[in-house]
Amino acid sequence: MNALTPGDHALRHDWTLSEVQALFALPFNDLLFQAQTVHRAHFDPNEVQVSTLLSIKTGACPEDCKYCPQSARYHTGLETERLMEVEKVLERAREARANGSSRFCMGAAWRNPKERDMPYILRMIEEVRGLGMETCMTLGMLTADQAARLGAAGLDYYNHNLDTSPEFYGEIISTRTYQDRLDTLEHVRGAGMKVCSGGIVGMGEQAKDRAGLLMALANLPRHPESVPINMLVKVKGTPLENEENLDPFEFIRTIAVARIMMPASHVRLSAGREKMNEQMQAMCFMAGANSIFYGCKLLTTPNPDENSDMQLFKRLGIRPAQRAQKPDQVQEEELLAEVSRQNAPDEIFYDATRPRAGVVRP
């Protein structure tokens, strides 16, 4: 495969398996060069979006995902917890904002949300958005109605991973189908929310399955805005606790190919970072990763602490991205002020084409 031309930066939804496998087969330096070329065409190469993930309901999940310590089917020593109180969630969100996070992600170990929990979930979304942060949730499968209610509450992102290729999926999960996952993503899009969807590598899959995962994501009608690439965290008591480690270079290749195939998406260096040294993480950023989860835990598994992340950012010259959108109350006040100003006698109609001060257009 030759060097990329400007036309190769276009968003595509018609990737073939042979094309994706050809990317994976490139010499390592050539692959990283192409990934960097694409990355710089769409993003500031020295800016990384920072998110914090909080488990708002832990354990006792009825699913049988072989990688997951939260499944009720496995004995991992994890203590189950009920849905967190809204005020406790807000405390953690404020801490995350103070530590530099622009997005607050909330995850619940459910197959799907129950009606009794929805009022609390909706309030969490509204209150966290009121802090001026982007909101993301992962709650399992959604109906179209549930997705619409989350969207109406202002949820920015919904996370629902495809996990692996369609062909390997049955080796990892039997309690929900690949189509179930695709249906939830469709409901999320239909409700006007952004999609966060990626997968896990190092679960015993073949190289063609890593290619198949990225092909399934890139060939969605719209690319996910966030694509988390997770390295399996092997938890004692789960069926994958003794899985062989994935070659670090193969993981970096996966990041790079994801960047090339989904040029405008944030590719998130996600679970498994605790086991990666600084050099490996730096190469992932070079390969096109431009988002991380920040904090001591990802739901129930360890993650590098905040100080080590910021120290690495400083050494690499990386800046945490800042959220462009202002808190709803601030933005509403500015809009009201603008409307009042426009209501002068000589200016009856508001010109919607004129940029408003302080409002960043997408």
Would you call 268 a catalytic residue per the annotation? yes
What pLDDT was estimated at residue 80? Answer: 59
Dihedral of CA 334/319/39/102: which sign? negative
3-state secondary structure labels for all residues of 172-197: CCCCCCHHHHHHHHHHHHHCCCEEEC
Would you call 196 a catalytic residue per the annotation? yes
Residue ranges of the alpha helices (H) in 238-277? Answer: 248-261
Would you call 68 a catalytic residue per the annotation? yes
| 284 annotated ligand binder | no
What pLDDT was estimated at residue 308? Answer: 79
pTM of the predicted structure, to 2 decimals: 0.80
Q: What does the DSSP assignment read for 6-62?
A: GGGGS--S---HHHHHHHHTS-HHHHHHHHHHHHHHHS-TTEEEEEEEEEEEBS-B-
What pLDDT was estimated at residue 113? Answer: 85
The CA distance from 233 to 227, in Å, is 18
Would you call 284 a catalytic residue per the annotation? no
Q: Which of 136, 149, 181, 253 is catalytic?
A: 136
Would you call 105 a catalytic residue per the annotation? yes
Q: Which of 97, 149, 196, 284 is catalytic?
A: 196
Chain segment 296-333, per-residue pLDDT in tens: 444 444 445 556 778 888 899 988 876 544 444 444 44
| 196 annotated ligand binder | yes
What pLDDT was estimated at residue 96? Answer: 85
Rg (Cα) of the chain, in Å, rounded?
21
What are the φ and ψ backbone dihedral angles of 351, each rounded to 5 degrees? Answer: -85, 100
Task: For the chain, list residues with pLDDT below 70.
Answer: 1-9, 58-60, 70, 72-82, 295-307, 322-362
Task: Please report which helix (H) or strand (E) contains residue 337, including its range.
Answer: helix 328-342
